């Protein structure tokens, strides 16, 4: 690497710590980054916040940042994380005696296709996908296009937990 590039990297502010939403005061933030779900699932990336604060997100492992989290920079300042609204499809069923079973069936079909999903009360949310949307309608789902922050379920192994012996099962 060129010496001037290395010097620029050394001079950049770094975010090494996350304050989870609800554990800090948002008024303490000096700036904010507005990121979609993919941009919030990171380990290392250079970010520029809305007011121009530029920093390197430099975490020990890939981490899902959530709306309301704070990133502590090495100078002690905090940059707030804001979930960017995205185009989503909200999935519901009609109220009926079999509603829970129907939602479980829809979730199973989407999970079987490795689709990122968010669970919101008795509804599911996913990114638009016309093939999956057609399948859901055939299965009896009611679909509504919405704009909202997307917080997909990350799964059982998000935090790197493994069974003893190093295996995952």
**Backbone phi, then psi, for 130, in 5-degree steps?**
-60, -30
**N- to C-terminal Cα distance for the chain?**
41
Confidence of residue 52 (pLDDT cuts 50, 70, 90): very high
Residue ranges per structural domain of the chain: 3-83, 85-149
Express each pLDDT in 90-101 by its tens digit: 999 987 778 889
Express each pLDDT in 6-20 by its tens digit: 565 565 799 999 999
> Average pLDDT, stretch 127-150?
96
Query: What pLDDT score was predicted for residue 94?
Result: 84
The CATH number given to 3-83 is: 2.60.260.20
What is this structure's pTM?
Answer: 0.78
What CATH superfamily classification does 85-149 receive? UreE, C-terminal domain (3.30.70.790)
């Amino acid at each position: 690497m060129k010496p001037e590039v290395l010097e620029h990297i050394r001079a950049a502010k770094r975010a090494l710590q996350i304050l989870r939403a609800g554990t800090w005061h948002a008024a303490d933030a000096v700036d904010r980054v507005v990121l979609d779900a993919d941009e919030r699932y990171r380990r290392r990336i250079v970010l520029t916040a809305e007011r121009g604060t530029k920093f390197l997100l430099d975490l020990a492992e890939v981490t899902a940042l959530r709306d309301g989290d704070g990133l502590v920079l090495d100078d002690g300042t905090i940059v707030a994380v804001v979930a960017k609204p995205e185009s989503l499809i909200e999935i519901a069923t009609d109220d009926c005696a079999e509603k829970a079973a129907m939602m479980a069936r829809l979730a199973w079909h989407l999970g079987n296709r490795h689709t990122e999903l968010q669970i919101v009360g008795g509804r599911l949310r996913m990114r638009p996908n016309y093939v999956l949307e057609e399948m859901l309608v055939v299965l009896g789902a009611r679909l509504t296009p919405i704009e909202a922050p997307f917080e997909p379920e990350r799964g059982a192994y998000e935090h790197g937990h493994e069974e003893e012996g190093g295996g995952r099962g």
